[in-house]
Structure 1
Amino acid sequence: MAMRKILVDETNRELCEHGTVGFPMTVNHDDLWAFEGKSVPIHWHNDLEISLPREGEAIYQVYRKSYSVRPGDVLLLNRNVPHSCHSPNNNHARYSTFLTRPDFIYGEYGSDVERRCFRPFLQNSAVPCILLTSGNSCTRTVIQKLNETEALFDQKTFCYELKIKGLLCEIFGMILCEHQNDLAKFIPANQLELERLEQMLDYLNTHFESVISLQELADQVHLSREVCCRLFKKMTGKTITGYLEEYRVNQSLPLVQSCQYSMIQIADMTGFSNASRFARAFHRQFGCNPGEYNSLKLQKC
């Protein structure tokens, strides 16, 4: 069975369009075990994302903060927010993912709905996400309407598009009203920080095969090494070294699966200083050695 992979560009912006031009929303039925490494790597997109857990626990990393999301909870992720996801203790985590372009809901930019309802959230760096916890009456109603949305999307009966748009308006209306006090603490989004993160990710992703010095990376964004490290940690929740190791291991997978190269060759091709460091990094991420990966994968199929 082919493993899922989120396609991103050099800045980790997701390349896949969610929905269509005429109907810019979609519902995915996701399972973290369907992704390589049983996790979703750091990525970001211009669409709003709602995660509705179905089974198990998922840990979302949003900037520096981790959010534990279980069945009964709902997580709303703001647009242009770098995030990743994994399951603790190697357990299953299944969830429904709702993705929609913001203007599909609010209409024209500058409209009262956009300006008064959505702008305090979309352009507020103080609220990168909103977690609705179980046991709350608002959360229960939101889940009920998300379930209706998913059923309509799957069945695609006559006028399902119009019904879904109405439900999404209700869902976002409830969530934003429930958290209007948080939205009142408005801190304008820092576009420069996102642009600098894009530059750093672009540099790391295109030079991962080589030895990368922190000074070289800092020079790309015209920051000191210390500020560069703090900004990267703030925006991704990961250290530069940790991210680079994870990215290099992910790039090694096709080479491992091909069975054409030795450990030494793969380590050299993916930027590791030696085969031992590569093997340790691979084991940390996938729970097995590179040589065991293919046989274990066949056993699970």
Structure 2
Amino acid sequence: MQIKNFKIGKDLKELTEHRTVVLPVACYETTINQNIHGYIPLHWHDEIQFVRMVEGEACFQINEEKLIVRQGDGLFINSGCLHMAEEMNESGCVYICLNVSPDFVVSQEQYATYVAPYIQATNLPYLYIDSNKSWGKNILDAIGNIHQWIQQKPPYFELDVTLNLTLVWKNLITNGFQLEYDRMEAVKSRRMKQMLSWIDLHYAEKITLDDIARAGQLSRSECCRYFKRMLKMTPLNYVIDYRIQKSLVWLQRTESNVTEVGYKVGFNSTSYFIERFKKAKKMTPLAYKKLKMDNGSIQTNDG
């Protein structure tokens, strides 16, 4: 089951509960262009994430780095790393997403040795999983098996899932890369999350560059450098994009109108809201609303 509009909290931490009934694990197919935003928006979570690309290709951003994951290959995204994804070349991108709590990968006695150093490392935000390499193929095959077992729930599937998660992790960590912990990198990550969290709380209000910088305990110039490095845009342009994201949900409600939605998400001018929405989505807010009505995506008052 795909999550088309997963919930993101005040600090961009994903609020979706990644687990089956008895396992702290979630495994599902994701079709990027079916997401409410048309892409997977910036977020993070405590769970480690594995991706197996089934069809097409996608551009993933993890922290400040971007890479393309192609059909047949995969990706590991470490715990706590900001990430987003968008489809490449209208390729009909579909991937299996496996999210698992780090403390479930191995036994509690082995966690400090075999898991903690890897999720705390600042030089391991992600790892590309190449299907042409034996360790990569082992991981991708196991992800496919886990997905099938969770969907079909055969007898004792929980044990098979658990065994294969250990296999996945062993293949990941036996590559021999040197782990590093840079305290300043950890501080930068924390400050970036603080600024994004502040924007999430106050996006509907008047926001200045000073406000955002203060939330991250940075100067104005340092704040701009953080956003340019991580998101390739200015802080205030990020605010505008974030307001547009938030408006998509409101526009899909039957009772909403464009003017009200614009003010609700922080635009103090309807014409400016329409202008920025059209620039971002290649259509007006009203056209977007009508498109969703025609597709049957509009929500009633009770959600």
Q: Once the 2 structures are TM-superposed, how far is the Cα of residue 119 of structure 1 from its aligned partner?
A: 2.9
**Counterpart amino acid of residue 296 in structure 1:** L
Q: Once the 2 structures are TM-superposed, how far is the Cα of residue 142 of structure 1 from its aligned partner?
A: 2.0
Q: Could you tell me which residue of structure 2 aligns to residue 85 of structure 1?
A: 85
CA contact (8 A) 2:41 2:85 kept: yes
CA contact (8 A) 1:105 1:165 kept: yes
CA contact (8 A) 2:250 2:261 kept: yes
Query: For 1:127-163, what per-residue CA distance to the aligned partner results, in whole angstroms no more than 9, with x for missing partners?
Result: 1010113432322222222212211111111111111
Q: Could you tell me which residue of structure 2 aligns to residue 63 of structure 1?
A: 63
Q: Could you tell me which residue of structure 2 aligns to residue 4 of structure 1?
A: 4
Structure 1 segment 169-248 matched on structure 2, within 5 A: 169-178=166-175, 180-181=176-177, 184-188=178-182, 190-236=185-231, 238-248=233-243
Partner Cα separation in structure 1 for residue 240 and residue 51 of structure 2: 27
**Counterpart amino acid of residue 46 in structure 1:** D
**Counterpart amino acid of residue 84 in structure 1:** M
Q: Which moved more, 1:124-133 or 1:237-246?
A: 237-246
1:52 is paired with a residue of what secondary structure? strand
Q: Once the 2 structures are TM-superposed, how far is the Cα of residue 246 of structure 1 from its aligned partner?
A: 2.0
CA contact (8 A) 1:65 1:237 kept: no
Partner Cα separation in structure 1 for residue 14 and residue 127 of structure 2: 21
2:71 is paired with a residue of what secondary structure? coil
Q: Once the 2 structures are TM-superposed, how far is the Cα of residue 252 of structure 1 from its aligned partner?
A: 1.5
TM-score by length of structure 2 reads 0.87
Partner Cα separation in structure 1 for residue 17 and residue 179 of structure 2: 32
1:49 is paired with a residue of what secondary structure? strand
Partner Cα separation in structure 2 for residue 285 and residue 20 of structure 1: 36
CA contact (8 A) 1:267 1:273 kept: yes
Q: Once the 2 structures are TM-superposed, how far is the Cα of residue 267 of structure 1 from its aligned partner?
A: 2.9
Does residue 145 (structure 1) correspond to residue 142 (structure 2)? The answer is: yes
Q: Could you tell me which residue of structure 1 aligns to residue 288 of structure 2?
A: 293
Q: Could you tell me which residue of structure 2 aligns to residue 130 of structure 1?
A: 127
Which of 238, 244, 249 is the matching residue for 1:249? 244
CA contact (8 A) 1:52 1:74 kept: yes
Query: For 1:173-205, what per-residue CA distance to the aligned partner results, in whole angstroms no more than 9, with x for missing partners?
Result: 112212x22xx1412465433432332122211
Partner Cα separation in structure 1 for residue 143 and residue 277 of structure 2: 37
Partner Cα separation in structure 2 for residue 126 and residue 237 of structure 1: 20
TM-aligned CA distance change 1:121 to 1:261, over 3 Å: same
Partner Cα separation in structure 2 for residue 266 and residue 125 of structure 1: 40
Partner Cα separation in structure 1 for residue 235 and residue 82 of structure 2: 14
Q: Which moved more, 1:43-52 or 1:64-73?
A: 64-73
CA contact (8 A) 2:208 2:236 kept: no
Which of 139, 156, 161 is the matching residue for 1:159? 156
TM-score by length of structure 1 reads 0.88
Q: Could you tell me which residue of structure 1 aligns to residue 299 of structure 2?
A: none
* Unpaired runs of at least 5, structure 1: none
CA contact (8 A) 1:82 1:236 kept: no
Structure 1 segment 267-282 matched on structure 2, within 5 A: 267-282=262-277
Partner Cα separation in structure 2 for residue 20 and residue 262 of structure 1: 38
Q: Once the 2 structures are TM-superposed, how far is the Cα of residue 248 of structure 1 from its aligned partner?
A: 0.3
Q: Which moved more, 1:67-76 or 1:184-193?
A: 184-193
TM-aligned CA distance change 1:255 to 1:101, over 3 Å: closer
Q: Could you tell me which residue of structure 1 aligns to residue 107 of structure 2?
A: 107
Higher helix share: 1
Query: For 1:13-72, what per-residue CA distance to the aligned partner results, in whole angstroms no more than 9, with x for missing partners?
Result: 111211158411111111112211211111111001001111111111111111111211
Q: Once the 2 structures are TM-superposed, how far is the Cα of residue 233 of structure 1 from its aligned partner?
A: 4.1
Query: For 1:244-285, what per-residue CA distance to the aligned partner results, in whole angstroms no more than 9, with x for missing partners?
Result: 122101221244334656544433332235334322332343
2:53 is paired with a residue of what secondary structure? strand
Greater relative contact order: 1 or 2 (C-alpha under 8 angstroms, separation 6 or more)?
1
Aligned CA RMSD, in angstroms, stands at 2.4
Q: Could you tell me which residue of structure 2 aligns to residue 34 of structure 1?
A: 34
